[in-house]
Amino acid sequence: MRLNREALLRALDSYASLLVLLLVNFLVIEIVQDARWGAAASILLAAAALLVAISDPDAGEGLKAWHWVLIAACVALVPIVLVATSSSVLGVAYLVPVGLLASATLPVTLSRILHHPRVTSETIIGALCAYILIGLLFAFVYLALGELRESAFFAQPGPHEESEYLYFSFVSLTTLGFGDLSPAVGLPQALTVMEALLGNVFLVTLVARLVTLWVRQDELHHARGG
């Protein structure tokens, strides 16, 4: 029974679990029509991602007191978001996942994958999680600006759904540049350029390096008859 419990905890604290949480967060923003419910769900999912990213049973690491304070604050904020009608409250709500992802989840994920003694499939999944975290981080920043700014975030006129901000973030991160959405002059443009640069640097350096090392290790293992 104890071994089963430890195996379950290890599975829940894996990068695969973190990837599932991030993809669910992605789908929530894409599918949920009510912005308040989308923001509330994103806050809870970001808190869960923080818990999974920081916990490491193998290394004997867990959440510190300030992490639990952050998670408790997130849970307490959700009812306020659901009943609020002000766009300012919604904008601030979108900044909560930004704070969680930027202050702890993303740095911890990057640090751990870079310090893995060997590059394994878990390392690659961790790098993928970090890449998605960057896209979500900028998406939440764009959503917050869309609610808090007096001027529009996009150069294209008219109302824009929450899913469009998420779509635009990952289009910018991957530098696809479809051109159907473009940022307004000023801060939106600056943030978009920053995200595109981060996306390029991340792919060219971290992911390419990890994949190359993983292949070499696998070839060396087979060469030794392992």
Residues 70-122 pLDDT 10s? 888 888 999 999 998 888 999 999 999 998 888 788 888 888 887 777 777 78
Give 194's pLDDT tier (boundaries 50, 70, 90).
Answer: very high
CB 128 within 8 A of CB 14: no
How far apart (Å, rounded) are the C-alpha atoms in residues 113 and 115? 5
Q: What is the pLDDT of residues 49-65, one digit of tens each?
A: 988 888 765 555 667 78
Helix (H, G, I), strand (E, B) or coil at 79: helix
Residues 6 or more apart in contact with residue 138 via CB below 8 angstroms:
169, 172, 173, 191, 195
* Chain segment 208-218, per-residue pLDDT in tens: 777 777 777 77
The domain limits of the chain are: 2-223
For residue 44, the surrounding DSSP H or E stretch is: helix 35-54
Contacts of 220 (CB under 8 A, 6+ apart): none
Average pLDDT over residues 153-160: 92
Q: What is the mean pLDDT of residues 161-166?
A: 94
Does 45 have pLDDT greater than 60?
A: yes
pLDDT of residue 8: 46
